[in-house]
């Protein structure tokens, strides 16, 4: 895999850097990127001139959307209309995301991570303030995606600081969490939120009491639910059934590394 995005003819043809990066990243993906879901070693672009860049895998037909930025990937990224995002989560039409951070002096890919669409839940979609009455689209409400609220397993790194991960490792990380697809979108947020908590310990073994300490955090994400502790236990059972963690007895758990 070559991380250089630069292409002289694209530079001559387009004057603005936003048009350049759009075209360069579209070309780069078409030439270099593989499918993280199946064994296909290429992705195809829809090339439909929409503001976003969409790709699909010609083999498994999964859909992806690319977002690229010259800033490092921080805690949140800007997305489109809030209502459209929520609707696409509920209807399960949201594509998976590729997030690219590029160096705009060298025109090179620096970081690339993949977020499977089953990690997009209402818990990680932040509603922005409506645009002011003086704005052209007054009252329009956009959203941010809170990357920091997505559990580590839902942020699959394909390139980290110019270091390229083995595609087979990337696909195996995808398979490890694909059990989430079985759940309906409204049930999924509970599971991913509890996954976020157990990952937040940053250790292999933890106790139920430690997870209970996140009761306040979880009740903020699910303000209509007053039975947080039973909900936590329910998610831990599901995660055990899916071989994501192991019950050790006496309220102790261990994450299973795959
Ligand atoms: Zn595929």
Residue recorded with tokens 């157990």: 198
With respect to residue 217, please indicate whether it lies within any of the assigned structural domains.
Answer: yes
pLDDT of residue 51: 65
Look up residue 158 and give its two tokens: 């394909």
Q: 18 alpha carbon to ligand 1 midpoint, in Å?
A: 28
Look up residue 171 and give its two tokens: 């696909």
Domain boundary among 156, 177, 198: 177
Measured distance CA(85)–CA(79) in Å, rounded: 8
Look up residue 57 and give its two tokens: 């895998």
Q: How many domains does the chain have?
A: 2
Q: 175 alpha carbon to ligand 1 midpoint, in Å?
A: 12
Residue 39 CB neighbour total at 10 angstroms? 12
Q: 223 alpha carbon to ligand 1 midpoint, in Å?
A: 37
Q: 186 alpha carbon to ligand 1 midpoint, in Å?
A: 26
Residue 49 has pLDDT above 80, yes or no: no
Overall pTM > 0.85 = yes
Residue 114 has pLDDT above 90, yes or no: yes
Residue recorded with tokens 């992705």: 43
pLDDT of residue 172: 96
Look up residue 83 and give its two tokens: 């209502």
pLDDT of residue 181: 93
Measured distance CA(92)–CA(89) in Å, rounded: 5
Same-domain check for residues 236 and 111: no
Q: 39 alpha carbon to ligand 1 midpoint, in Å?
A: 6
**Sequence-separated (6 or more) residues with CB below 8 Å from residue 49:** none
Taking residues 238-246, what's their average pLDDT? Answer: 96
Q: 169 alpha carbon to ligand 1 midpoint, in Å?
A: 15
Q: 63 alpha carbon to ligand 1 midpoint, in Å?
A: 9
Q: 222 alpha carbon to ligand 1 midpoint, in Å?
A: 34
Taking residues 111-130, what's their average pLDDT? Answer: 96
pLDDT of residue 44: 92
Domain range for 99:
1-73+93-118+147-177
Measured distance CA(253)–CA(258) in Å, rounded: 16
Query: pLDDT by residue (tens digit) across 160-218?
Result: 999 999 999 999 999 999 999 999 988 999 999 999 999 999 999 999 999 999 999 99
pLDDT of residue 162: 96
Q: 55 alpha carbon to ligand 1 midpoint, in Å?
A: 11
pLDDT of residue 10: 86
Same-domain check for residues 27 and 112: yes
Quote the DSSP letter at residue 44.
E
pLDDT band (50, 70, 90) for residue 258: low
Measured distance CA(195)–CA(136) in Å, rounded: 41
Same-domain check for residues 10 and 106: yes
With respect to residue 136, please indicate whether it lies within any of the assigned structural domains.
Answer: no
Taking residues 65-80, what's their average pLDDT? Answer: 92
Residue 46 has pLDDT above 90, yes or no: no
């Amino acid at each position: 895999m070559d991380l250089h995005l630069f292409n002289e003819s694209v530079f001559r043809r387009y004057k603005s850097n936003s048009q350049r990066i759009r075209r360069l990243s579209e070309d780069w993906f078409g030439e270099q990127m593989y499918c993280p879901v199946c064994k296909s070693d290429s992705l195809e672009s829809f090339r439909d001139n929409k503001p976003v860049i969409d790709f699909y895998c010609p083999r498994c037909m999964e859909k992806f959307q690319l977002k690229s930025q010259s800033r490092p990937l921080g805690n949140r990224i800007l997305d489109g209309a809030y209502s459209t995002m929520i609707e696409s989560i509920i209807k399960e039409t949201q594509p998976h995301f590729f997030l690219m951070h590029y160096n705009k002096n060298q025109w090179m890919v620096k970081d690339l991570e993949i977020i499977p669409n089953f990690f997009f839940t209402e818990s990680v979609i932040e509603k922005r303030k409506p645009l002011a009455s003086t704005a052209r689209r007054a009252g329009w409400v956009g959203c941010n995606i809170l990357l920091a609220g997505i559990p580590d397993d839902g942020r699959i790194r394909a390139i980290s600081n110019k270091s390229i991960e083995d595609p087979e490792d990337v696909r195996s990380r995808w398979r490890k969490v694909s059990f989430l697809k079985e759940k309906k979108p409204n049930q999924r947020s509970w599971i991913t939120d509890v996954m976020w908590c157990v990952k937040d310990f940053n250790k292999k073994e933890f106790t139920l009491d430690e997870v209970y300490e996140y009761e306040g955090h979880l009740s903020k994400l699910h303000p209509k639910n007053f039975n947080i502790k039973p909900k936590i236990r329910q998610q831990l059972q599901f995660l055990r059934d899916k071989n994501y963690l192991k019950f050790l007895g006496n309220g102790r758990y261990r994450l299973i590394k795959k």
